[in-house]
């Protein structure tokens, strides 16, 4: 598998083209953070408003990942990813043309949809790689794609400075942000014309029902309903934040109206879930043991993704300001130091997937890495201006490694739960990563960095405990082919055997 990564043929070509699609969506999604201070000064934004824009950037990714997961399972990753990449130009141009806080809120909410692109590649990669290699393949996809956050943090300010001759010497952030969307849209056309959903001879498995995730037990149905409510809660939390003093994007009446709309959305989600699973709930359908899966396992993976990717989103958003204020650094220097965190994705997320493949237990890989996340963030909690800067950077790198390796380990399990529903399951798990980001950034906006780091550390230790006692090893975790592929091969060979 590792040797194949230098190849650009067969399944490795699909992997490289897909992680680059993810890379571009992340460059777009994180194209505001490097210019937050500059934009704040030019448009006269309060610090609370800048923090709120960071939360807005995550908000619509929560429902978008679920919706895109459904579209993905129905239409396939080729069409879904291509359309999403082409859509990216809309919020990028909207941000580039914004003149005030309200316009920025709308543009960053729309940008959250682009941040949902991660889900698409999970299904694409799982179609092209066998279970025994799924951890490293998903790790490379996720890690190299997540490297787009580093690309945004590090490269976009350089481009903006290079183009400053067009703005009288001022950072040309508007052109730079617009350019990210244009490049993504062009690549969307290229992606559509050069990839396939599955290898030749393999059938793309679609769910039998659309509109909600199909579960296989009544207990799992109610667990899914609770999970859906958690995501609605995160959106309600954002609406509350937009009503707070120094923000005032919403007034009190508008906030209540949003809450009512969110409750309506939850009721609609629940109704759709009932329709899809009506036969199960009324006792008219009983799933064979080979078809069953426990939604409780999905819920536990949602929690792991809160603690790893949710904490990563929060850290990437606040570390530039943290280093700037804690150590009195120049903004550019602080940003470059903070960019080490997303840079680590290049190796840490693939290594998490690789460890998951080689350790012979995906459950215990997840448990140990979650404990590492908890301990490293609790150490980070103690960083202050008396620390030597190199030591603070080393601790930040440690936290980044475990958080990102945890992402790789999580998605080393997700595609193994229920193949034909991989998009929806990945969407649910991915949405909870954004749930974590919203909650953590809300805590940060109301408190301070040490409180945020401590909260993320404690949550990860709780997650490690739950993984140790409740996470189950997926069936066929290390098989050389998926169960569906094996059945297809047997079916294809059967006529030849009959002729013999």
Helices marked H in 295-344? 295-305, 311-327, 331-338, 340-343
pLDDT tens-digit readout, 126-174: 899 888 888 888 888 988 888 887 888 778 888 988 888 887 777 789 9
Residue 480 pLDDT greater than 70, yes or no: no
Buried b (16+ CB within 10 A) or exposed e, 157-168: bebbbebeeeee
Average of per-residue pLDDT values in the chain: 87
Does 324 map to a domain?
Answer: yes
- By residue range, what is the domain housing residue 404? 9-196+209-492
What's 321's domain CATH number? 1.20.1250.20
> What confidence category does residue 288 fall into, taking pLDDT thresholds of 50, 70 and 90?
confident
CB 459 within 8 A of CB 111: no
How distant, in Å, are the alpha carbons of 105, 340, 370, 380, 402 from that of 398? 33, 11, 13, 9, 7
Does 382 map to a domain?
Answer: yes
Picking from 114, 134, 131, the residue whose alpha carbon sits closest to that of residue 59 is 114
CA–CA separation, 104 and 94 (whole Å): 8
Does 389 map to a domain?
Answer: yes
Does 500 map to a domain?
Answer: no
Residue 192 pLDDT greater than 80, yes or no: yes
Does 305 map to a domain?
Answer: yes
Residue 490 pLDDT greater than 70, yes or no: no
> What confidence category does residue 496 fall into, taking pLDDT thresholds of 50, 70 and 90?
very low
Within 13 Å and on the Cβ side, how many CA atoms surround 6? Answer: 2
Does 300 map to a domain?
Answer: yes
**Contacts for 280 with CB less than 8 Å, ≥ 6 apart:** 215, 216, 217, 218, 221, 286, 287
| pLDDT number for residue 482 | 56
- Counting the structural domains of the chain, the total is 1
Residue 58 pLDDT greater than 80, yes or no: no
**Contacts for 490 with CB less than 8 Å, ≥ 6 apart:** none
Residue 25 pLDDT greater than 90, yes or no: yes
Phi-psi region of 71 (alpha: psi -120 to 50; beta: other; left: phi over 0): alpha
Query: Percentage of residues in the chain with pLDDT exceeding 70?
Result: 94
Average pLDDT over residues 417-427: 83
Average pLDDT over residues 89-94: 96
| pLDDT number for residue 2 | 58
Does 201 map to a domain?
Answer: no
């Amino acid at each position: 598998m590792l040797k194949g990564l230098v190849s650009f043929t067969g399944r490795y070509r699909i992997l490289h083209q897909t992680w680059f699609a993810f890379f571009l969506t992340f460059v777009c999604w994180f194209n505001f953070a490097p210019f937050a201070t500059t934009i704040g000064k030019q448009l006269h934004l309060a610090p609370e408003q800048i923090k709120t824009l960071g939360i807005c950037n995550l908000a619509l990714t929560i429902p978008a990942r679920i919706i895109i997961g459904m579209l993905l399972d129905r239409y396939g990753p080729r069409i879904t990813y291509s359309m999403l990449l082409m859509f990216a130009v809309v919020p990028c141009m909207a941000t580039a043309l914004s003149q005030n806080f309200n316009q920025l809120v709308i543009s960053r909410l729309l940008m959250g949809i682009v941040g949902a692109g991660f889900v698409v590649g999970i299904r694409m990669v799982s179609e092209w790689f066998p279970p025994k290699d799924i951890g490293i393949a998903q790790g490379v996809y996720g890690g190299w794609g997540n490297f787009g956050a580093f690309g945004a943090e590090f490269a976009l300010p350089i481009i903006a400075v290079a183009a400053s001759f067009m703005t009288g010497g001022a950072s040309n952030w508007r052109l730079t942000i617009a350019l990210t969307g244009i490049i993504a849209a062009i690549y969307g056309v290229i992606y559509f014309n050069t990839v396939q959903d599955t290898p030749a001879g393999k059938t793309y498995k679609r769910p039998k029902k659309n509109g909600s995730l199909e579960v296989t037990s009544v207990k799992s149905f109610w667990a899914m309903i609770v999970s859906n409510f958690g995501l609605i809660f995160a959106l309600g939390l954002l609406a509350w934040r937009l009503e707070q003093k120094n923000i005032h994007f919403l007034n009190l009446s508008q906030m209540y109206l949003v809450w009512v709309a969110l409750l309506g959305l939850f009721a609609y989600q629940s109704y759709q879930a009932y329709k899809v699973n009506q036969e199960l709930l009324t006792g008219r359908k009983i799933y064979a043991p080979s078809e069953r899966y426990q939604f409780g396992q999905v819920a536990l993976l949602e929690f792991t993704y809160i603690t790893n990717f949710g904490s990563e989103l929060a850290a990437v958003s606040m570390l530039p300001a943290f280093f700037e204020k804690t150590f009195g650094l120049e903004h550019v220097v602080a940003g470059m130091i903070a960019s080490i965190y997303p840079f680590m994705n290049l190796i840490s997320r693939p290594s998490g997937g690789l460890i998951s493949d080689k350790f012979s237990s995906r459950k215990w890989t997840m448990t140990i890495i979650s404990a590492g996340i908890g301990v490293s963030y609790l150490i980070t909690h103690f960083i202050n201006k008396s620390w030597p800067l190199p030591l603070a950077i080393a601790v930040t790198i440690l936290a980044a490694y475990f958080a990102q390796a945890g992402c790789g380990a999580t998605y080393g399990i997700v595609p193994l739960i229920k193949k034909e529903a991989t998009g929806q399951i990945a969407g649910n798990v991915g949405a909870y990563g954004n749930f974590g980001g919203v909650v953590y950034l809300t805590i940060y906006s109301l408190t301070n960095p040490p409180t945020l780091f401590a909260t993320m550390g404690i949550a990860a230790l709780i997650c490690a405990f739950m993984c140790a006692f409740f996470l189950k090893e997926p069936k066929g975790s290390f098989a050389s082919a998926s169960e569906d592929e094996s059945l297809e091969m047997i079916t294809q060979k059967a006529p030849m055997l009959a002729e013999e």
